[in-house]
Every structure is written in C-alpha cells, then in structure tokens.
C-alpha cells in the first residue's frame, strides 16, 4: 500500500474546498438523517483511489473466516480449528499458571488486557494482569491490589495496544520489537539470549512472536500440565491442530496469534461504504473522510485496511507517568540502538478508538478530538532533539468545522459495533472471563 502524493492532495483540495466548506459543521452525534450525497461520494472515492489508480477495496478488510485473504505468517497457517482453539485460549483465565502469588493462579487471561468491549484494549490506560483486581463495567474498574508490592504487579508502563486488525502489522509492540520481517529484517544481531527480543529467533512474524513472548512475560507459561493438556475439549481441539505434539508455550502462542489475525473491524460503517453501501456514512462523516484523505494529510501515515503503517515517528507525545524502561521511553531507538530512532513509536491502527479513551503511546490524551487538535496545532508537548520531528508534523490549519467532521469520521465511521462476535463468554474451565479474581467475578456477575 502506498500513500497519495501530497501535491496531488493539494490539487484535489482546491477543487473541493467549496463543496466541503459549503456544508461543513458536525451534526450532533453525526445523527442527521442520511441521504444520498453523490458529490461527496465521488470526491471521497477520487481521493482514496487517486483517480482510479488504486481500488477502494485496497482499504477493505476481508471476512474473518476468509483465511486465504487474511495476511498470515507462512509458518502459522490459519484454519478454523486453530482459530477456535486460539479464541478459547485467549480468553482462558486458567492459563494464569505461573504467577508470583499462588492465589493469583487462574485469575487473568490475555483478554484481561485485550477484550472486545474495549476494542481489544484494556478499558484502562495500562493493562493489569497479575496483581489486578476488579473489572467495573468494561475493565475500567481494574486496579492494582494493595497486597502486592508495586514491582510485583504485572502492569504495562505504556498504553496497552489493541490487537484489533493486527493481521496487518508485520511487527508488534510500540517499538516494533517482535517479528522478523518488514522493518525488523536483518536485525537478528539484536535478538540476544535472555532479552525480550530473543523470541524472534524462532523466526515468526510479529503477531506470533508477541503472543509467545507475552505468555512468559505475563506469567502464563507453565502449560505442560495445564488445563490445555488435561481437559477433553482442549485436547480434542489440540489434536486437530497440533496432532501428536505436546502442549508448549510456543504452540499455545501460535494458536492465540491465529485467532488474533481474524479480529477485523469489517462491520465498521467506513468498511461498508468501501464495499458499496453509500448510505453507510452521513454527510458529516464523508466530509470528515475527505479531510482525512486531503487537507488533514492523515493517510500519509495511517493507510491500508487498518489505517496504520510499519513506520515509527517521534511526535513529542508524553510517556506514561512513571515510565522507567528505555523501551517505553525511547521506543524504536531502544530496540535498534540508534540515537536517531529514539523517541519514535509505531503508527497505530485507527479502528474502534472510542472504545478505550486513552490515546498516544503514553495514554495521556483522553479524547479523539484532543488528538486531532494536537496534530492540527503541530506543536510537540515534549521537547525532542533537533531534527527528530517528522516533516509532516506541522500546523494543518484545519477549521473548527473540519476538526469536528474529522473527529466524527474517526469516532463513528471507523467503529465496528459488534466486536463481541469475537468474544468467548464460556470456557472449558468454567472460569469467569476476561478476569477471574474475586472482585472481578462480582463485577462480572459470574
């Protein structure tokens, strides 16, 4: 996927400025009666396709069971059985097998920090595995337990990233530390034994490497005698996916990664519009999309089906308060050990942003509009070394109406309202999910 040249965008903007300005202004909640807007549709289609030089479907997701169309690791081919196994394992709190404290056994899962209700994020700025308690309505009530020493709580000191649409990411993590292809090709000298990056020696793509590493990092890696190896439901699935192979952290990670590759926001209104439903977006949302693909210059970095990119930028956004590890502060620079790459973080995907009101790698922005205004102002919140800011980070001079429309597009048009179709409400273990500690069970009513 390539980006539209900015000079071309400038030309298109000149041609549509009267169209946009003449009808700009966000209707409350984008809730106006939707009518056909052929002029807006044509303008938007021209911007996206670069006047026919690419297809609208270049930005469309496949169906989640169309495995042949979903990007995948050739060493971890998708199958219906593997995806089903991975879905159960992703939500299975009985995989919490190796916590620091015995009372935490069986109390958390991958879904604790990446659940459907929060757009496969945590519901809070920083996910908490072991040492967390409670749930609230949507994960927002999870807190560190006072009985744990702070260093023993498994809390992420960077905003918990979404696993939604991660099939379109060659490398994983804000610093791109996981995966052997794309921007990490040739970086094997960095995969030293005993480091976070050692998992890349297995040769997998980012999603697979990250899933395997996460099981160890989040204290879920004592699996040989776990429920996966003893429960009849899991054993039947396991034998269909890994016949004759023993349960291992690597294979559990591969199944989880296979499931994660199918988590696609393909019911979002913009996806429906791309596939021909011209009534899927309101006029205000279409105007916001026009700003996105023109004056806002968003597509330069946020492109392709998931509106992301395997590039890294220093934008002067604040870190998580209290962050201490180099990887959470220096980002890509801490991985590649190149000074010019310090403070750079990976371009994130943009779907279902409103499910989890924490934005930026540090989670310090609390609304989508606040982020749009930050880019529009083009002024870094944190001082960076000279020459580190990208040339694209300049004031955009969007009007208030254009900011309103762009915010609406990002908030509503890119929102898939039915991510629960990917969740598992019941597990072979009978445990609660996404979390299974005493307070979480009360909050979840299970």
- Reduced to 3 states (helix: H, G, I; strand: E, B; else coil), residue 383 is coil
Give 322's pLDDT tier (boundaries 50, 70, 90): confident
Gyration radius of the chain over CA positions = 22
Q: Are 158 and 361 in contact (CB under 8 A)?
A: yes
Report pLDDT for 32.
60
- What's the mean pLDDT when you consider all of the chain? 92
109-139 pLDDT, tens digit per residue, is 999 999 999 999 999 999 999 999 999 999 9
Q: Are 40 and 285 in contact (CB under 8 A)?
A: no
- Residue 271, C-beta contacts closer than 8 angstroms, at least 6 positions apart: 60, 61, 265, 416
353: which strand partners? none
Report pLDDT for 24.
41
Instruction: Report the 10 Å Cβ neighbour count for 276.
Output: 9
Give the pair of three-digit tokens for residue 204. Answer: 């997998």
- Residue 352, C-beta contacts closer than 8 angstroms, at least 6 positions apart: 119, 120, 162, 164, 265, 268, 414, 415, 416, 419
Give the pair of three-digit tokens for residue 224. Answer: 């040989």
Q: Are 390 and 317 in contact (CB under 8 A)?
A: no
Pick from 374, 214, 194, 375: which is nearest to 204 by CA? Answer: 214
Report pLDDT for 2.
40
Q: Are 227 and 234 in contact (CB under 8 A)?
A: yes
- Reduced to 3 states (helix: H, G, I; strand: E, B; else coil), residue 248 is coil
158-167 pLDDT, tens digit per residue, is 999 999 999 9
45-67 pLDDT, tens digit per residue, is 999 999 788 999 999 999 999 99
pTM across the whole model: 0.92
Q: How far apart are CA 120 and CA 23, in angstroms?
A: 35
368-411 pLDDT, tens digit per residue, is 999 999 999 999 999 999 999 999 999 999 999 999 999 999 99
* pLDDT over 90 (residue 347): yes
Q: Tell me 170's DSSP state.
A: S
For residue 96, how far is the Cα from the chain centroid? 23
């Amino acid at each position: 996927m390539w980006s539209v040249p900015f000079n071309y965008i400038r030309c298109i903007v000149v041609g549509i400025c009267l169209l946009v300005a003449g009808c700009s202004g966000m209707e409350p909640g984008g809730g106006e009666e939707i009518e056909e807007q052929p002029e807006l549709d044509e303008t938007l289609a021209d911007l996206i396709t670069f006047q026919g030089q690419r297809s609208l479907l270049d930005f469309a997701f496949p169906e989640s069971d169309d495995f042949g169309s979903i990007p995948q690791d050739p060493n971890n081919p998708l199958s219906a059985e593997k995806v089903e196994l991975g879905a159960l394992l992703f939500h299975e709190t009985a995989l919490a097998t190796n916590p620091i404290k015995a009372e935490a056994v069986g109390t958390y899962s991958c879904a604790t920090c990446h659940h459907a209700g929060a757009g496969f994020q945590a519901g809070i700025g920083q996910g908490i595995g072991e040492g967390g308690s409670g749930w609230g309505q949507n994960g927002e009530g999870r807190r560190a337990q006072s009985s744990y020493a702070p260093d023993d709580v498994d809390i992420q000191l960077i905003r918990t990233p979404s696993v939604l649409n991660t099939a379109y990411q060659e490398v994983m993590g804000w610093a791109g530390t996981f995966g052997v292809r794309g921007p990490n090709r040739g970086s094997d000298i960095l995969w030293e034994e005993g480091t976070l990056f050692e998992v890349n020696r297995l040769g997998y793509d980012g999603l697979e490497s990250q899933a395997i590493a996460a099981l160890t990092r989040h204290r879920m890696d004592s699996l040989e005698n776990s429920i996966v190896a003893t429960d009849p439901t899991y054993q039947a699935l396991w034998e269909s996916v890994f016949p004759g192979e023993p349960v291992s952290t690597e294979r559990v990670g591969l199944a989880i990664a296979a499931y994660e590759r199918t988590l696609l926001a393909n019911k979002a209104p913009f996806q429906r519009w791309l596939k021909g439903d011209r009534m899927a977006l309101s006029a205000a949302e279409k105007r916001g999309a026009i700003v996105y693909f023109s004056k806002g210059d968003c597509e330069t970095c946020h492109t392709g089906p998931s509106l992301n990119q395997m590039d890294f930028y220093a934008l002067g956004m604040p870190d998580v308060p209290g962050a201490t590890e180099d990887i959470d502060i220096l980002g890509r620079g801490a991985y590649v050990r190149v000074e010019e790459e310090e403070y750079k973080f990976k371009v994130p995907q943009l779907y279902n942003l409103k499910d989890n009101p924490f934005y930026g790698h540090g989670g310090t922005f609390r609304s989508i509009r606040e982020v749009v205004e930050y880019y529009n102002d083009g002024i870094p919140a944190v001082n960076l070394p000279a020459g580190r800011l990208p040339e694209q980070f300049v004031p955009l001079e969007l009007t208030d109406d254009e900011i309103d429309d762009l915010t609406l597009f990002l908030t509503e048009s890119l929102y898939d309202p039915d991510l629960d179709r990917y969740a598992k409400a019941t597990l072979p273990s009978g445990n609660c999910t996404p979390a299974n500690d005493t307070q979480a069970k009360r909050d979840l009513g299970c």
